[in-house]
C-alpha cells in the first residue's frame, strides 16, 4: 500500500503525485470496489474545492451506469447512457467538462451544492468500463489542466481494471 502523502496545493505537483499513487494503491487480489474506494479517497484528498469524487461503473446486464465507490453525499444509483453528464461521457466516450451544471441539458442533480463537474470515461479496448465523476461547489472549478491529468489517471485505471471474469 502507498504511504500517506501530503499534497502541496500545487495542482501540477499534486496530480503527478496522485498519478504515481494510483498503481501503488491498487491491489489486484482485492475486489474492484475496494480499489476504487481508495482511488476516490485519494482524488478527494488531492483536489481542492471538490464536494464529490467517485465512480459510476458500466453494468453490462442492464446497459447502464451504476453507482460505485465515492467520497461525498449520497448519490444517484443508476444513470442511463446519454443522460446527465455521466451518461453523456459514457455514451460519447469523451470527457465532459461542465463549468456550470445548471446550463447542462438534462443535468442530474444529486448534490444541490454542485456547481461544476468533470466526468472522464474509463475506456479499455474501445469499451467503457465506467466513469470518474468529480463535482465542485464552485462554478468553472475545472479546466484543461484537470481534464488532462484526470484522463491520465483514467488511462492508468483502465490498465489496472480487472478483465471480464476476474474478481469484482
pLDDT digits (tens, 9 = 90+) for 119-139: 999 999 999 999 999 999 999
- Residues spanned by the domain of 59: 11-160
Confidence grade of residue 166 (pLDDT, cut at 50, 70, 90): very low
The dihedral of CA 165, 118, 134, 24: what is its sign? positive
pLDDT tens digit sequence for 98-118: 999 999 988 887 778 899 999
- Is the pTM value of this prediction over 0.85? yes
Domain membership of residue 2 (yes or no) is no
31 domain residue, yes or no: yes
* Residues 36-72: tens digit of each pLDDT: 999 999 999 999 999 999 999 999 999 999 999 999 9
Q: Which of 51, 108, 42 is nearest to 77 (CA)?
A: 108
Instruction: Judge whether 4 lies within some domain.
Output: no
Structural domain includes residue 77: yes
Residue 154 lies in a domain: yes
pLDDT single digits (tens) 69-86: 999 999 999 999 999 999
Q: How many domains does the chain have?
A: 1
Q: Assess if residue 5 is contained within a domain.
A: no
165 assigned to some structural domain: no
Where does the pLDDT of residue 21 fall: very low under 50, low under 70, confident under 90, or very high at 90 and above? very high
Contact yes or no for 153/119 (Cβ under 8 A): no
- Say which CATH number the domain at 92 has: 3.30.450.40
Angle, helices 144-160 vs 32-46, to 10°: value is 160
**Location of C-alpha cell 487480489:** 29
Residue 166 lies in a domain: no
Residue 31 grid coordinates:
475486489
Amino acid at each position: 500500500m502507498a504511504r500517506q502523502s501530503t499534497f502541496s496545493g500545487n495542482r501540477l505537483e499534486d496530480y503527478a503525485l496522485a498519478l504515481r499513487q494510483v498503481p501503488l494503491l491498487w491491489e489486484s487480489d482485492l475486489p474492484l470496489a475496494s480499489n476504487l474506494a481508495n482511488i476516490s479517497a485519494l482524488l478527494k484528498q488531492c483536489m481542492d474545492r471538490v464536494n464529490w469524487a467517485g465512480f459510476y461503473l458500466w453494468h453490462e446486464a442492464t446497459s447502464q451506469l451504476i453507482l460505485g465507490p465515492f467520497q461525498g453525499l449520497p448519490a444517484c444509483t443508476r444513470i442511463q447512457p446519454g443522460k446527465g453528464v455521466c451518461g453523456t461521457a459514457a455514451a460519447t466516450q469523451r470527457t465532459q467538462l461542465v463549468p456550470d451544471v445548471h446550463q447542462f441539458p438534462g443535468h442530474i442533480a444529486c448534490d444541490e451544492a454542485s456547481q461544476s463537474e468533470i466526468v472522464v470515461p474509463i475506456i479499455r479496448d474501445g469499451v467503457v468500463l465506467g466513469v470518474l465523476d468529480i463535482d465542485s461547489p464552485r462554478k468553472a472549478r475545472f479546466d484543461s489542466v484537470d481534464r488532462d491529468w484526470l484522463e491520465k489517471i483514467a488511462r492508468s485505471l483502465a490498465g489496472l481494471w480487472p478483465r471480464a471474469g476476474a474478481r469484482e
